Chains A and B, each alone.
Chain A
Amino acid sequence: GAVVSQHPSRVICKSGTSVKIECRSLDFQATTMFWYRQFPKQSLMLMATSNEGSKATYEQGVEKDKFLINHASLTLSTLTVTSAHPEDSSFYICSAKPRGAHNEQFFGPGTRLTVL
């Protein structure tokens, strides 16, 4: 089956530092990847849509200069949280849409970010 991995699974960083999270599709090519954020006891909120080889499309209210997304290959997208603050502490999840698929998406296991 289609597998999406994320790395790291957990990260703790100091306020002001930058953190990079990787999302990889392990056994398929993903033309589109999605980045979500989930705060405790809330549902997933889409942050941005990432298409391979082009700029990401950010949802309203998401700062593109703070959350840098790179989708340089068909199997890898990265989310970099720049100058992290405690309010950025959250659970970040990616999903990937296989090339040619119309509705399928496969979700990664998530990354727990804690900013001290």
Chain B
Amino acid sequence: KNEVEQSPQNLTAQEGEFITINCSYSVGISALHWLQQHPGGGIVSLFMLSSGKKKHGRLIATINIQEKHSSLHITASHPRDSAVYICAVRWRSGGSNYKLTFGKGTLLTVNP
């Protein structure tokens, strides 16, 4: 069964700390998404990766295709970064099927 696993499930940090959230998946993928979901529920797409590394502001996402692993890093974390971060993948075996498989999410709380 194709699976996506995230760790940690919950993460509490102090403002300013460097944050890392991990995502592992079981088989080859076409793309990996990192999403952010705030308590209100709406989802924001942070990154889409198929290889290498992307950076946007204080957020960095990396992916290692050989190891089937991706990380989301937040530098100089801030209380407004508190949210659920979700990893989602599109399996390579899906062909023209574009649907995503989601991890269970990481709840990040950044305290002032």
Contact = CB atoms under 8 A, between A and B. Distances in A.
The answer to whether A and B belong to the same complex is yes
A44 B97 CA distance: 17
B100 A107 contact: no
Interface in A48-87: 49
**Interface class of chain A by DSSP:** strand
Interface residues of B, number: 22
Interface in A97-113: 97, 102-110, 112
Contacts of B31: 102-103
Given A107-B43, A110-B42, A102 B30 contact: yes
Contact of B33 (A46, A105, A108): A105
A21 interface: no
Interface in B7-56: 30-31, 33, 35, 41-45, 48, 50
Contacts, number: 53
Nearest to B6: A43
B48 A103 contact: yes
Place the interface of chain A in its size category. 20 to 34
Given A46-B100, A49-B99, A107 B41 contact: no
Contacts of A95: 100
A43 B86 contact: yes
Contacts of A93: 41, 43
A91 B103 contact: no
B73 interface: no
Interface string B88-112: 1010000001111011110000000
A91 B43 CA distance: 11
Interface of A: 32, 34, 38, 42-44, 46, 49, 91, 93, 95, 97, 102-110, 112
17 contacts: A32-B98, A34-B100, A38-B41, A42-B104, A43-B105, A44-B86, A44-B88, A103-B50, A103-B90, A103-B98, A105-B98, A105-B100, A107-B43, A108-B43, A109-B43, A110-B42, A110-B43
Which 7 residue pairs of A and B lie closest in terms of their CB atoms, listed nearest first? A103-B31, A109-B42, A107-B43, A43-B102, A110-B41, A43-B104, A44-B102
